[in-house]
Amino acid sequence: MAARHKLLVVTIIIFCLFSLSQPVQAADNKLYFNGKDISDEVETIQQEGELLIKARQFAKLINAELKWQPAIKTLRLTGSNGEVVKLMVGSPYIQIRKNAIKSKTGLVLNEGHTFLPLAGVIEAFGYLIEFNREEKEVYVFKPETVIKEICWSEDGNSLEVIVDELPPYRIVKTDNPNKIILEIDKARVANEFTDNVSNNNFYLQVKNIADSALLRLIITSKYPIPFNRDGGISEEEDRLVLSFLPQITNIAWTKNDMLMIEANGNINKPEVLYLEDPRRMVIDIPSLMFNELDINLPDNEWVKDIRVSQFKYDPVTLRIVLEMKNNDILQEIPREAGDMIAFKPAKETVVDNLQYKNGQIRFDSTAELVPDLFLLEDPARLVINLFNAERGASFLEEIELDKQLVRKIRTARFDEQTIRIVADLAEMTGYGWREEKIEQGYRYLIELKNKFSAINLVESPDYQDINILLTGGVDYEIKKFSYPHRIVVDIEGAVDNTENLVLPEPKGLIQDIRTSRYELEGKELVRLVFELKEFNGYEVKTDPATKKINIHLPKEEKIALPKQGDIIVIDAGHGGFDPGAIGQNGLEEKDVNLEVALRVAQKLKEAGQKVVLTRSSDKFISLKQRVRLANSLPAKLFISIHANSFNNNISSGTETYYSDTNTNAAASKKIAQLIQEEMTEKVKLADRGIKEESFYVVKYTRMPAALLEIAFISNPHEEVLLGQSTFQEKVAAAVNEAILRYLQLEVAE
Amino acid sequence: MKNRKYVYLLLIIAVILLLVGLYQIRQNNQLVESKLYFATPDAMYLVPENRLVEKDQLYLNTIKELLVGPENSELRKTVPDGVVVNSVSLDGKLATVDFNEALIEKHWGGSSGELITIFSIVNTLTQFSEIEEVKITIAGETRETLAGHMGLDDSFEFNQEIVK
């Protein structure tokens, strides 16, 4: 008995001493869990600077199973994703699976309850913790996105943020052009994350803004970053891509006396001017970024010195100044690659015999030259600059033509070095030029309009492809005729040079190829006819107005054309700097559209459908980008979500649009009808009916497409509805139902 | 008697002068009746309203009148306040009408809102037999869209469906 008492007394004394040396006190921190203040719901204590939380409350919070084994004083937590964490009273170690991390206190017993160190344990369950020591606030949140890596793209023109799942994000506006701030919601960096961004010029900072549960990536540069805040960021499958304007990478005077400028991306057409006293040549290159580089300028008879600077930021312009030794001029030579331009000293020449014939502008030159050609709009003009040139006797100032292509040709001395030819065109057309050696020098032929560069047939085991290649973009129309089966391609805006073209030998499915000129509704067309041995359907795989037309023909009937696919594209209208319509109380259409689109996508996914959203966050995408995305997918439906507006507060109701010019007009009308029906039945606003209108996204998508105008945001009553989540949910349910009904009908057919 | 004759003569001269003057004013500033398409308040339809427009620069003046808005209080304006028409030019049967930035910036948005604006302009201009198609430009440039639904690359023809 006595021994037992003694033991008890000793235990009590030790316990008291223990308690004295390590005072336990209730923590006065504020604790936020996933952005919610839960300070009053959980008990926390502070010991040795460690914040401890009551174990049972903690387990409940994160939905973990708790097991207390009194015999070995061990607490075991099993998380919903199978995470296992063990703590033992008296041991500072927290065992997480096979690893152990050390905390200051370990598991603490206080008034008969176990308390565990919050910071060490919560991270094992995939949460992030952030202390705001001064204000004594603790934030715990679960990141939904893991940033695996941030790195430069191969060409160094874009930064790629590689993530496990695309998060909501935004570019934060800053007044500092040297800085880009990208905010990503509920994100954390991966454990193996490495900074592959920082280098001589750039510095990456990753800041966890715990109180708003977001991660901020701050990229700072020594130089202003030419980054386009609207549209400079794009989403790819597993990454966010921040695209930069290209940088200059090399500038050199070469052995064969040329000035060469290289960049790590496309170099736009430079503007050149000459200044006197001292004589300088100034080359301004738009949208090119400065980079510190060594200029390779060996001694030569033309250029004394080269200076490079970022001349302007708005718009971004790089300036190269050459200090010239004499009165020479350098002129750009035709490019071989988009990321390189070269200039060489121009020879003095006399140009003469300017004339126009059959879509061709022609002149002669005593020395070889490189004409600088470009088009101007409104009115359409083709400008031809000839450097270091003098006009001869038959190089008239004005030639009146009034021909079908060219109305008039004017020539003038543009500046001291340049003769300029301006051809007033009937409309914008393509052009090309070539050089011929003649007795007295060289002849230059500038040809207007696009031409065919090749027509070829490509055979694969299951398909036959027809490719029509042109020198420039053209509009075209493809028709199918029967008896015999023929594919007819009508091309507008091209010169018929097919006689000079070697047409391919008919093979495979193609029995014969014919070409002809054709006039339709006053338009001159070139018609190509491909006669087929048999016909099993066809597919046009190219966009309107292209340089390459591709027609895809299956060889056998059973090889059905690639199905339209099974993806449903949901398009939330507007976004980013384009808010769409704005209600009287400030509700922005883009937010409603996105909210409804996300809900529709969620419902469709639950119904087992594959869904792609054109945007899943508040960002701007153009109409063209929306269509391009949809057309690049094997998509079977495209649904655009919008809210309507007018200049009064009484217009009201729901309407759905489709386009007769869509490649699937009938199916488009069907889905529009179903959406309108479901909306009228479930959402019960005024029924404005379905309407045919050539809105961009329903016209150019190559799958059945409809555009829903849910209600009028300009009507205060409907604005209130549009902002309510219950209403949004109802709309999403109606759209979902309409889509599912459409799919069933499709199956039935 | 002699005096009275004199007065008559003066009176006749005055009347002749007045008539000649009026005729000249009318010659310089002939008015023609044009149709201006305005919207019904539910943003569903366009309804034409007749108005006298100066014949000199008829297309431009017609659009200027359209910008003023309807006289009929049951119809709605179709173009936002602050919009200015810069020019209307004709190339063949295609009229290009150029507005200032306000047409985009001050626009109320919405598919219906956008259709009403575009087709009130297009239908108003295509009433003239010389015009078949209308293209809308902003500050001399072709824009992708007016309010985020309709592409402005295209030109438009008279829209019968939208007329009540």
B76 and A647 within 8 Å at the Cβ level: the answer is: yes
B140 — alpha (psi -120 to 50), left (phi > 0) or beta? left
Cβ of residue A588 closer than 8 Å to a chain B Cβ: no
Question: In chain B, what residues touch A580 (CB-CB under 8 Å)?
Answer: 109-110, 147-148
B112 and A624 within 8 Å at the Cβ level: the answer is: no
A696 and B151 within 8 Å at the Cβ level: the answer is: yes
Bridge partners, A131 (sequence order): A138
Closest chain B residue to A714, measured at CA: B108
Question: In chain A, what residues touch B77 (CB-CB under 8 Å)?
Answer: 647
Question: In chain B, what residues touch A706 (CB-CB under 8 Å)?
Answer: none
Considering only CB atoms, B140 lies closest to which of A378, A574, A712, namely A378
Cβ of residue A699 closer than 8 Å to a chain B Cβ: yes
Considering only CB atoms, B150 lies closest to which of A642, A695, A713, namely A695
pLDDT of A98-140, one tens digit each? 677 788 888 888 888 889 988 888 878 878 777 766 667 888 8
Cβ of residue A481 closer than 8 Å to a chain B Cβ: no
Question: In chain A, what residues touch B41 (CB-CB under 8 Å)?
Answer: 648, 650-651
Min Cα distance A577 → chain B (Å) is 12
Cβ of residue A648 closer than 8 Å to a chain B Cβ: yes
- CB-CB contact of A494 with A474 (8 Å): yes
Question: In chain A, what residues touch B146 (CB-CB under 8 Å)?
Answer: none
Closest chain A residue to B41, measured at CA: A651
Query: What are the residue ranges of helices labelled H in A607-684?
Result: 623-632, 665-682
B154 and A647 within 8 Å at the Cβ level: the answer is: no
B110 and A624 within 8 Å at the Cβ level: the answer is: no
- CB-CB contact of A346 with A387 (8 Å): yes
Helix or strand or coil: residue A551?
strand
Q: Is A729 a catalytic residue?
A: no
User: Counting beta carbons within 10 angstroms of the beta carbon of residue A289, is it exposed (0 to 12), middle (13 to 18) or buried (19 or more)?
Assistant: buried
CA distance A364 to A368: 10
Closest chain B residue to A709, measured at CA: B111
pLDDT at A145: 81
CA distance A346 to A259: 12
CA distance B23 to A122: 94
Give me the domains of chain A, ranges plus CATH numbers: 25-141 (3.30.457.10), 145-243 (2.60.40.3500), 248-345 (2.60.40.3500), 351-446 (2.60.40.3500), 452-554 (2.60.40.3500), 567-748 (3.40.630.40)
Q: How many contacts (CB atoms, under 8 Å) link A and B?
A: 94
Question: In chain A, what residues touch B106 (CB-CB under 8 Å)?
Answer: none
pLDDT at B2: 60
Q: Is the pLDDT of residue B21 over 50?
A: yes
Min Cα distance A622 → chain B (Å) is 8
pLDDT at A17: 46
Write out residues in chain A with pLDDT < 70, as ranges: 1-25, 27, 98, 132-135, 155-156, 209-213, 228-231, 314, 358, 402-404, 428, 449, 471-473, 482-483, 493, 495, 519-524, 542-546, 557-564, 748-749
Cβ of residue A192 closer than 8 Å to a chain B Cβ: no
pLDDT at A596: 96
User: Which residues of B have a CB under 8 Å from any CB of A?
Assistant: 39, 41-44, 76-77, 80, 108-113, 115-116, 140, 144-145, 147-151, 154, 161
CA distance A707 to B111: 9
pLDDT at A564: 57
Closest chain B residue to A575, measured at CA: B148
CA distance A711 to A730: 13
A714 and B108 within 8 Å at the Cβ level: the answer is: yes
Q: Which of residues 482-511 of A touch B (CB under 8 A)?
A: none
| Listed residue (A106, A114, A122) closest to A69, CA to CA | A114
Considering only CB atoms, A645 lies closest to which of B76, B110, B154, namely B110
Min Cα distance B161 → chain A (Å) is 9
Q: How confident is the model at residue B63 (pLDDT cuts 50, 70, 90)?
A: very high
In chain B, count of helices (H) and strands (E)?
A: 4, 6
Other beta carbons within 10 Å of A3: 7
A646 and B108 within 8 Å at the Cβ level: the answer is: yes
Mutant choice from B73, B108, B111, B116 vs A, greatest count of A C-beta within 10 A: B111
CA distance B52 to A263: 61
Cβ of residue A626 closer than 8 Å to a chain B Cβ: no
Cβ of residue A44 closer than 8 Å to a chain B Cβ: no
Min Cα distance B151 → chain A (Å) is 5
CB neighbour list of residue A229: distance below 8 Å, 6 or more residues apart: A171, A173
Angle between helices A725-748 and A716-723 (to 10 degrees): 80
How distant, in Å, are the alpha carbons of A300, A352, A375, A377, B109 from that of A382? 36, 19, 5, 9, 38
Question: In chain A, what residues touch B157 (CB-CB under 8 Å)?
Answer: none
pLDDT at A16: 46
Cβ of residue A351 closer than 8 Å to a chain B Cβ: no
Q: Is the pLDDT of residue B27 over 60?
A: no
A709 and B112 within 8 Å at the Cβ level: the answer is: yes
A90 — alpha (psi -120 to 50), left (phi > 0) or beta? left
Mutant choice from B45, B67, B120, B149 vs A, greatest count of A C-beta within 10 A: B149
Question: In chain A, what residues touch B111 (CB-CB under 8 Å)?
Answer: 642, 644, 655, 657, 693, 695, 707, 709
B76 and A622 within 8 Å at the Cβ level: the answer is: no
Question: In chain B, what residues touch A650 (CB-CB under 8 Å)?
Answer: 41-42
B149 and A646 within 8 Å at the Cβ level: the answer is: no
User: Which one is catalytic: A235, A709, A718, A719?
Assistant: A709
pLDDT of A523-542, one tens digit each? 667 888 898 888 877 777 76
Question: Residue B14 corresponds to which tokens in the numbers above?
Answer: 């005055």
Closest chain B residue to A650, measured at CA: B42
pLDDT at A213: 67
Considering only CB atoms, B148 lies closest to which of A578, A650, A712, namely A578
pLDDT at A20: 44
Question: In chain B, what residues touch A622 (CB-CB under 8 Å)?
Answer: 144
pLDDT at A284: 93
Closest chain B residue to A644, measured at CA: B110
